[in-house]
């Protein structure tokens, strides 16, 4: 019998949770996930392998529910990926964002401390914490968040570091820059653009409304990034790591690239919409992945252009299938 490898993932139905589950199943883990009860359940990202997972109802807002699940599952690793993760929503619901994205981390860590401080803990931290700090941003760059989401993530980061220092928990904070895929939610700019390109190309839409085209981001491919999460928990010592490609593009370049894949001229379709401009913007994110390369041996495999092409193609296939199903109905 090998060593027991049991993972518990919060946010398992999200983009990263779904890719991480697949990776851990390949690595022969027993994979458990926490899902919030909801009258409209959304399992499409994990549907094709849901029978290989064990899902538990619990909530980051409910301390005892977390203690109960951790007692029952007795995981060896916990990945805290659940959060209110859409930046614009954090201005509309700053308190709820703080409850999930900030205090939720403490609730999971408290449950770990109570049930078994030997559980290894991964916290999904974010490049949004750097905010206004000039690029390139690395592990030593000061935080200067620009949204209630960014502020909440800074809390999550420091409470993770604090449980490591106070209680000796193997707790790590992965500071991940933007990471995208065909499973990305359609509210985020990459997927919003690739979905619109597919719909415009297939004649079911004509226009795409966007906010700030000059913002710069370091966009990577989500399946590459979940490998780094796992790698952080396999180290001898806990630590914090920036995960990024080290390459930056503007939103405008993203738009050009995605429309280009479909042979479309973006200027004929993209309109600017002032209501999509944020109250405070993060202008320029560019990560320095030196530490993760040197210590984790981590490198991204899929670059920006290839990722955008994969996303446009996946959306074209999906929109075409939907149109076909609609025509038959």
Tally Cβ neighbours within 10 Å of residue 64: 11
How far from the centroid of its chain's Cα atoms is residue 11's Cα? 9
Q: Which is nearest to 108 in space by CA: 164, 176, 59?
A: 59
Catalytic status, residue 225? no
- CA proximity to 59, closest of 34, 80, 93: 34
- Pairing mode, if any, of strands 77-80 and 179-180? unpaired
| 3-class DSSP state of 85 | coil
Question: Could you tell me which residues come within 8 angstroms of residue 110 by beta carbon, excluding any fewer than 6 positions away?
Answer: 63
Indicate the residue among 54 and 144 with the shorter CB distance to ligand F7E. Answer: 144
Name the nearest CA neighbour of 26 among 241, 226, 263: 226
Q: Could you give the 3-state DSSP secondary structure of residue 177?
A: coil
Question: Of 170 and 225, which has the nearer Cβ to ligand F7E?
Answer: 225
C-beta closer to ligand F7E: residue 111 or 200: 200
Kindly state the smallest distance separating residue 302's Cβ from ligand F7E, in Å.
17
Phi, psi of 210 (to 5 degrees): -130, 165
- Beta-strand relationship, 249-250 and 216-217: antiparallel
Is 39 assigned a catalytic role? no
How many other C-beta atoms are found inside a 10 Å radius of the C-beta of residue 184?
21
Closest CB 6 distance from ligand F7E, rounded Å: 27
* Min separation Cβ 86 and ligand F7E, Å: 7
| CB of 324 vs ligand F7E, minimal distance in Å | 28
126 carries an active-site annotation? yes
Min CB(201)–ligand F7E separation in Å:
19
In whole angstroms, the minimum distance from the beta carbon of 314 to ligand F7E comes to: 17
Binding residues (CB under 6 A) for ligand F7E: these are 85, 87, 126-128, 177-178, 187-189, 192, 210-212, 215, 217, 251, 276, 278, 281
Query: Residue 322: enclosing H or E segment and its boundaries?
Result: helix 304-328
Per annotation, catalytic residue among 126, 127, 181, 284: 126
Toward ligand F7E, which CB reaches closer, 100 or 121?
Answer: 100
| Closest separation in Å from C-beta 162 to ligand F7E | 21
Length, in residues, of the chain:
329
Nearer to ligand F7E, 120 or 146 (CB): 146
Q: Which is nearer to ligand F7E, 81 or 119 (CB)?
A: 81
Specify the residue for token string 């549907």: 47
| Structure tokens, 252 | 């405008």
Active-site entry in 149, 163, 225, 241: 149
Q: What count of other Cβ atoms lies within 10 Å of the Cβ of residue 298?
A: 19
- Is the CB of 29 or the CB of 177 nearer to ligand F7E? 177
Given the residues 18, 77, 128, 256, the one annotated as active site: 128
The answer to whether the beta carbons of residues 90 and 84 sit under 8 Å apart is yes
Strand partners, 210: 272
The set of residues, in sequence order, having a beta carbon less than 8 Å from that of 100 and lying 6+ positions away, is 60, 61, 82, 83, 84, 152
Give catalytic residue positions: 126, 128, 149
């Amino acid at each position: 019998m090998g060593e027991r490898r049991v993972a518990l993932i919060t946010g398992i139905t999200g983009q990263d949770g779904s890719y991480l589950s697949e990776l851990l199943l390949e690595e022969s883990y027993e994979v458990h996930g926490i899902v919030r009860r909801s009258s409209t359940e959304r399992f499409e990202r994990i549907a094709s392998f849901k029978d290989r997972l064990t899902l538990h109802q619990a909530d980051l807002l409910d301390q005892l529910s977390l203690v109960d699940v951790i007692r029952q599952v007795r995981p060896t690793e916990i990945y805290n990926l659940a959060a209110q993760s859409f930046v614009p929503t954090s201005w509309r619901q700053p308190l709820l964002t703080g409850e999930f994205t900030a205090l939720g981390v403490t609730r999971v860590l408290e449950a770990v401390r109570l049930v078994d401080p030997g559980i290894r803990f991964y916290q999904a931290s974010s490049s949004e914490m750097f905010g206004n700090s000039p690029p390139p941003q690395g592990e030593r760059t000061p935080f200067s968040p620009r949204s209630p989401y960014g502020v909440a993530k800074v809390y999550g980061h420091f409470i993770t570091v604090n449980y490591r220092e106070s209680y000796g928990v193997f707790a790590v904070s992965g500071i991940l820059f933007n990471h995208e895929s065909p499973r990305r939610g359609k509210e985020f700019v990459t997927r919003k653009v690739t979905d619109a390109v597919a719909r415009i190309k297939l004649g079911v839409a004509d226009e795409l409304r966007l906010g700030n085209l000059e913002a710069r981001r370091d966009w990577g491919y989500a399946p590459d990034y979940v490998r780094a999460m796992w790698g952080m928990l396999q180290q001898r010592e806990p630590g914090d790591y920036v995960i990024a490609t080290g390459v930056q593009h503007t939103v405008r370049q993203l738009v050009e690239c995605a429309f280009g894949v479909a042979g479309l001229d973006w200027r004929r379709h993209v309109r600017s919409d002032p209501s999509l401009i944020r109250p405070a913007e993060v202008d320029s994110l560019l990560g320095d992945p030196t530490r993760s390369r040197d210590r984790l041996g981590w490198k991204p495999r899929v670059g920006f252009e290839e990722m955008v092409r994969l996303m446009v193609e996946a959306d074209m296939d999906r929109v075409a299938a939907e149109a076909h199903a609609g025509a038959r109905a």
